[in-house]
Homo-oligomer: A and B are copies of this chain.
């Protein structure tokens, strides 16, 4: 019997290299050559694990979205079983989407590049749309719960409110990514706190 390897691990390693390259030079820099160099592999190796350049990019985007989603899911679970101050938890939950540390900033940079590219690249649309829908739904669910608990006025238009908050998160992320010097993490957090209903 031959070598026994988990291809998924390899693919993951490659996709992490893709993220680093995209972070540094944008999606158009994620050529097979650049990614191979970044991953310390040969082009041939990457091609062995991905049918296509496009497949590599899609896999990377999916995994990026999944990683972000999982991190938020942890907080969301804690929110459901909330015995402590609920407002802080909501803030923490939404803050999880913000690039408050270097790791999340790197993710956000890549994610922004991918989602913007998704506008004109059909292959990226599914991931982008799913992530966007997930965020809006999550916010809506939290708000609805808050209304049910009498913490929020019933007059509030939840649709508008969800758009408002998700747009705020997107905008803060965008500014943190594009103009990090004038948008330090504390400012992000303050702006978020000031915007909660």
Contact = CB atoms under 8 A, between A and B. Distances in A.
Chain A interface extent, by class? 35 or more
A78 to B, nearest CB: 26
A84 to B, nearest CB: 25
Interface in A146-197: 157, 159-161, 163-164, 166-172, 174-175, 177-179, 182-183, 187-188, 190-191, 194-195
A24 B157 CA distance: 34
| Interface SS of chain A | helix
A132 B171 CA distance: 12
Contacts of A112: 116
A179 B132 contact: yes
Contact of A194 (B24, B161, B170, B191): B161
A120 interface: yes
B167 A175 contact: yes
Contacts of A183: 163
19 contacts: A24-B120, A28-B28, A112-B116, A113-B116, A116-B116, A116-B178, A119-B177, A160-B190, A160-B194, A163-B188, A164-B168, A167-B168, A167-B171, A167-B175, A167-B191, A168-B168, A168-B195, A170-B170, A171-B171
